Amino acid sequence: MCAKGDDNVVAVPGGPYQATRGQKVPLNGSRSKGKIEKWTWTLSPGDGCPSGVPTKTVSGAVASVTVLCSLQAKLRVENSRKSDEKTTTVTVKARPGWKTTVPATNAVGTWISANPLVWGCTVGGCQLGRNVCAIHGGSEDTHDIVHQKDPATYEDDAYKLGTVTDAQSPFDGWNWVVANLSRINRKSLLNPELMVGSDTARANAGSGDYLALVQSVKAHEQFHSDIYREQLAQHGDPAVKIEEVIGPDHD
């Protein structure tokens, strides 16, 4: 009398797994049981993935896969007579430390104008200071909200993009934000007559009132920059949203 061997197989996909966005996650089904002839992983989009993420099939007991958002990982094991499958999760975490940088204090410079009436005192009053964008040197502009070197895109100015190259990943060929460059950098420009060495400074040497005026103008221009920092804290930092952006197209 002959006894037939046990052909049962049991899928053990391991996990649940965790990875930081952009890292490879090592899927390991090697603890699956039975006389297994074939291992197949089916990777499908999980919670938080944007629409359009494809489902990917990968062979082998072990697979290392680049992940950009959370996945469902189903392992199917089989032989010529039996099969079994189990599903686990791959949770993708945001990269820590993504924030818009804001200097604690403004740099201070002299407000230079080709027209002295722009910064001087006229019948309409005195303009003593300005708060301007200081990100790109000579293009200071008091009206900048978001500064762009190229008016068509923020790429390489506020962020850098990369492309996944991983044939086993559902995200092969997808683009993602690999680096955050977002920052706020403002500069206080003072009326030249408030600067050391000016005619007004020499005429008011030792005057407490003049020194108090200079400090109050600096504080006022700094206040404008402090508002940016407060708004980020109250309404959310856009750098956090940039961190999670992924897509199949560069644009």
Q: Is 124 within a domain?
A: yes
Range of the domain at 51: 9-93
Q: Is 3 within a domain?
A: no
Q: Which residues 6+ apart lie within 8 Å of 17 measured at CB?
A: 25, 26, 27, 73, 88, 89, 90, 91
The whole-number mean pLDDT for each consecutive block of 10 residues of the chain, a chain of 251 residues, reads 65 95 96 95 94 96 96 96 96 92 82 50 71 68 54 76 96 95 85 86 92 93 88 87 90 71
* pLDDT given at position 32: 95
* pLDDT given at position 115: 46
Q: Is 99 within a domain?
A: no
Residue 66: give its domain's CATH number.
Answer: 2.60.40.10
Whole-number Å distance between alpha carbons of 228 and 250: 30
| Opening angle at CA 247, ends 246 and 249, nearest 5 | 140
The model's pLDDT over 159-202, given as tens digits with 9 standing for 90+, comes to: 899 999 999 999 999 999 999 988 888 888 888 888 888 888 89
Check whether residue 159 and residue 235 sit in a common domain. Answer: yes
- 66 and 24 Cβ atoms separated by less than 8 Å: yes
For residue 139, the SS3 value is: helix
Check whether residue 115 and residue 40 sit in a common domain. Answer: no
Q: Which residues 6+ apart lie within 8 Å of 214 measured at CB?
A: 190, 194
- What is the domain count for the chain? 2
H or E stretch covering 214? helix 208-235
**Tokens for 96?**
């820590």
